[in-house]
Chain A
Amino acid sequence: MDWSYILGHMNYWLFTVMMMTGLYIVIARGNLVKKIVGLNIFQTAVFMFYISIGKVSGGTVPIFPTDMEIDPEVTYSNPLPHVLILTAIVVGIATTSLALALVVRIHEEYDTIEEDDILEIETRIAREENRAHGGAMGGRA
């Protein structure tokens, strides 16, 4: 376990801490908007991991000179993770907006965006329905 090993793996460990922070927000917090922020943090951590893998030390941005006179001495970083993550970011914001739209609809229906309150309301509705119809449903079968 020498110094260069630690420096070489620091990125991966920091990305793990960031990803777990996002996961913790998703699991432990009840507010739906905050859960979405947590999901975004998780997602960004995965992006960082992908891009870290594509980095070549001493490499540069994978764009050739405009006149296409390519110097064979230059190393370019791996363009493949860039392509995957570039599209994933835009897809990510599109799906995030879908999640936010769901949150808005949930708030209109339940008047709250706290998970605990929504569960409470759901249980109450279920109990009332049971009381109203439960006898008829259970009696016949």
Chain B
Amino acid sequence: MIETGINIALFSMLVVTALVAVRLRHLFGVVMLAGAFSLLSALLLVTLDAADVAFTEAAVGAGISTVLMLGTLALTSRREKIPSHRPWLPLVVVLVTGAAIIYGTLDMPDFGAPDSPAQTGVAAEYIARSPHEIGIPNIVTAVLASYRGYDTLGEVGVVFTAGVGVLLLLGGLRARRRRGRPDGPDGEEG
């Protein structure tokens, strides 16, 4: 019961943070709110028994993403302009989509129900078999690296590709040449 209370309180704080981020026009404030949002979601993940995920979210959200967002602001601008079009159409789209999703959740099993379809599938097998098949205490690591090794290989490939993409866009692969005219005499293909 207390657990549910903490859970709903933290979730509400998360929602309030997101709503404030909509209103705020000062981008520095928005980025700081995004950092607070990550930290709150890490807390919530701990109450939901996801220690590994909370750890990742805290390290990524508070450590790296805030720094990258601030770096982007330093390279661009700090204030958001007021958009010219009216917000009614987006609001209607969002409300209709939200209503559809809530309608979809109505016949979902209760939060934390031990007999829900998600609990009775392959997860029970992982918990039962990993002690003697893999032999390491952390089930999450066992599933991540061994049972679902292909999946993780793909994810590492995506991270690698995204890194290469950033380097191509921001020219980190070699010392940046002066930006000349591409059709000028210096720009000829060798």
**In-complex A–B contact (CB below 8 Å):** yes
Contacts of A30 in B (CB 8 A): 80-81, 83-84
Contacts of B152 in A (CB 8 A): 87
Interface of B is mostly: helix
> Is there contact, CB below 8 Å, between B169 and A21?
no
What is the total of A-B residue contacts with beta carbons within 8 Å? 284
> Is there contact, CB below 8 Å, between A53 and B116?
yes
Contacts of A23 in B (CB 8 A): 93-94, 97
> Is there contact, CB below 8 Å, between B81 and A114?
yes
Partner of B87, one of A15, A22, A28, A98: A28
Contacts of A27 in B (CB 8 A): 90, 93-94
> Is there contact, CB below 8 Å, between B65 and A96?
yes
**Can you list 21 contacts pairing A with B, beta carbon distance less than 8 Å?**
A8-B110, A14-B8, A16-B105, A19-B98, A28-B90, A29-B80, A33-B80, A36-B69, A55-B112, A56-B112, A57-B113, A58-B112, A61-B50, A78-B119, A80-B123, A91-B159, A101-B169, A101-B170, A107-B76, A115-B83, A116-B81
Which residue of A has the minimal Cβ distance to B81?
A114
The reply to whether the CB of A70 lies closer than 8 angstroms to some CB of chain B is yes
Interface residues of A in 1-60 (CB under 8 A from B): 4-5, 7-25, 27-31, 33-34, 36-38, 40-41, 44, 47-48, 51-60
Contacts of A113 in B (CB 8 A): 76-77
Interface residues in A, total, Cβ within 8 A:
91
Interface residues in B, total, Cβ within 8 A:
89
- Assuming the contacts A90-B60, A104-B75, A116-B84, asked whether A54 and B30 have C-beta atoms less than 8 A apart, the reply is no
> Is there contact, CB below 8 Å, between A90 and B139?
no
- Assuming the contacts A24-B90, A83-B143, asked whether A9 and B34 have C-beta atoms less than 8 A apart, the reply is no
Max chain B C-beta neighbours (<10 A), residue from A28, A68, A105: A28
> Is there contact, CB below 8 Å, between A79 and B127?
yes
